[in-house]
Structures are given as C-alpha cells and as structure tokens.
Structure 1
Amino acid sequence: MKVQELMECKEHEIHSIEPEKTVAEAIDEMAAFHISALIVMEGGRPVGIFTERDVVKTHLKFRDKPFTAVRVRDSMTEKLIVARPDDDLHGVMSAMIQADIRHMPVMLEGRIVGVLSMRDIIRHYVGSLKAELNYLQDYIGRLEEAQHD
C-alpha cells in the first residue's frame, strides 16, 4: 500500500504554528484540536515539527522558564523526516521506527499535503488483519460445513 492510499482515508487538515509563537500557544493549539503534533511553518514553508515529546524536552531544557516565555523555535524538532505520497507504507513505518518518531509530514512538490502518524499506520494494519481474520474464519466455517454434508 502507498502512503497516498492511506491519506485518502483520513482527515487532511494540517495544523501548523509559527516558530515565534510560544510553547504555551502550541500546547493550547494541540489541546484545542486533540492533536499531538504541529508543523512549524515560516514564510509558507515547513521548518520543523513540534510534538508532545517536544513539550517534555522543553520542560527539561528550560526548567526555570514558563512555557509562555519559551518560543517554539527553541523547542521544535528541526530535522524533518518526510514521506512522499507514492512511498510504500511499510517502508515509511520502518523509517519512523528507525528514527523513533511518531509523526511524519507527507510532502508533494515542496508543500506539505498531510501528516501521517504511527497511530494511522497501526489502525490500517489492525483493520487489514481483522479483515483477513474474518475471511479466514468464514473460510474455515464453510470447510467445516462442507465436511458435514
């Protein structure tokens, strides 16, 4: 399965924040939309990602400062690892596991078209496994019925 196929099954709203906003504002945004990551955008282009993990890192790094005094720029993850819509989903999942990340922006022609989460991928695979299990249970049931006929 390709990333594009999974992206077609999920919401496409991309939540972003500017790097000069505060960590407190980022947390408020994440809480308001029940999300765990924001793309950090500057001048219309992605410059990083801010996640729940970055909140914890911010607390540890800036212990004496309130979140209202720390900028997203100083707390975000700058190195963006991205997927393309035509990437294989299994390869993307492997890359996410290898990099120990839970969110991966999906880019097409230099712009972000979505954000894929590990949760999205796991839901897909669980759904596929459930469908296969149901098929096999039905098949076994038909075999058992055929034996009794």
Structure 2
Amino acid sequence: MVAQNVGALIVMDHDKFAGMFTERDYARKVILKGKASRDTLVREIMSEHPVVVTPDTTIDQCMALMTEKYIRHLPVMDKQQLVGLVSIGDIVKCMIDEQKCIIEDLEHYITGHHE
C-alpha cells in the first residue's frame, strides 16, 4: 500500500468481491493489538461488509456517506459485480472541477461573454 500510495485495497475471492482492506484496518487490528504483519492474514482483518454504492449514486450521496460513516473509500457495485472504487480524493476533485465551471460561467455572465 505504501509503495503504491494507496489507502485501501479491494479484496477478491476469485471473481467475487470479498471486502476491503484499509490502512485503518491495519492500524486498528494489527498494530494496536500487537499482532505481527507477517503472521496475520488479510481475511482476518479486512472489512467484510463495507458500505457500498451503485453507479447511480450521486456525488453528494457519496460525500454524505463518507462523512457520516467516517470512511474514505466506497466500492461501486452493479448488482453483485464490483465495477469500481470511489475515494474521497475522487470526490474532492469532482467538487473542485464543478466549482471551477460555476466560477467560469459566472465570470462569463458578469463580463457579458454569453455563449
């Protein structure tokens, strides 16, 4: 995780989504309990039933879930199939891009450069 600069990993059991393994799982279930990393299996400490969203979930809904549940990653499920992962970084980038567009539109409106 450190080498790839990621805070969470999707855990698969063959082709089936099995859960998530996060930095928080590692910190709370390995480090704080005094376990050794080399002797601990991912299945022992992963989150088996993480909060998930669908492709139809809005950015605002994702942000609300992340805030309410204190999580930074949301697996995206379409029926029983994992189709992606949304991170808090993805949400922030989307919000910034949206605000830039609004600001540009307002600047064009104010200066009279309507399209």
Alignment partner of 1:132 out of 71, 92, 102? 102
Q: CA RMSD in A?
A: 1.8
* Aligned equivalent of 1:81, options 51, 72, 79: 51
Which residue does the alignment assign to 1:46? 17
Q: TM-score, normalised by structure 2?
A: 0.85
Runs of 4+ in 1 over 3 A off after TM superposition: none
Aligned to 1:71: 41
- For structure 2, the 5+ residue unaligned runs are none
Match of 1:108 in 2: 78
Alpha-carbon separation, structure 2, partners of 1:110 and 1:31: 29
Identity of counterpart residues, as a percentage? 36
Counterpart of 1:82, as a letter, is: V
2:113 counterpart of 1:121: no
Equivalence for 1:96: 66
Q: Which position in structure 2 is the counterpart of 1:142? A: 112
| 1:55 CA drift (Å) | 2.0
Aligned to 1:25: none
Q: Distance in 2 between matches of 1:96 and 1:128?
A: 19
Residue 75 of structure 1 and its aligned partner are, at CA, apart by 1.6
Amino acid across the alignment from 1:88: T
Q: How big is the shift at 1:66?
A: 2.3
TM-superposed CA distance for 1:31, in Å, is: 2.8
One-letter code aligned to 1:131: C
Cα deviation for residue 88 of structure 1 reads 2.1
Give the structure with higher Rg (CA): 1
**Match of 2:19, as an amino acid?**
G
Higher relative contact order (CA 8 A, sep 6+): 1
Q: In the alignment, which residue of structure 2 is the partner of 1:60?
A: 32
Q: In the TM superposition, what is the alpha-carbon distance from 1:103 to its structure 2 partner?
A: 0.4
Aligned residues, how many?
112
Per-residue deviation, residues 28-64 of structure 1 (Å, max 9, x unmatched)? xx23332211111123212210111112112102x1x
Q: Identify unmatched segments of 5+ residues in structure 1.
A: 1-29, 144-149
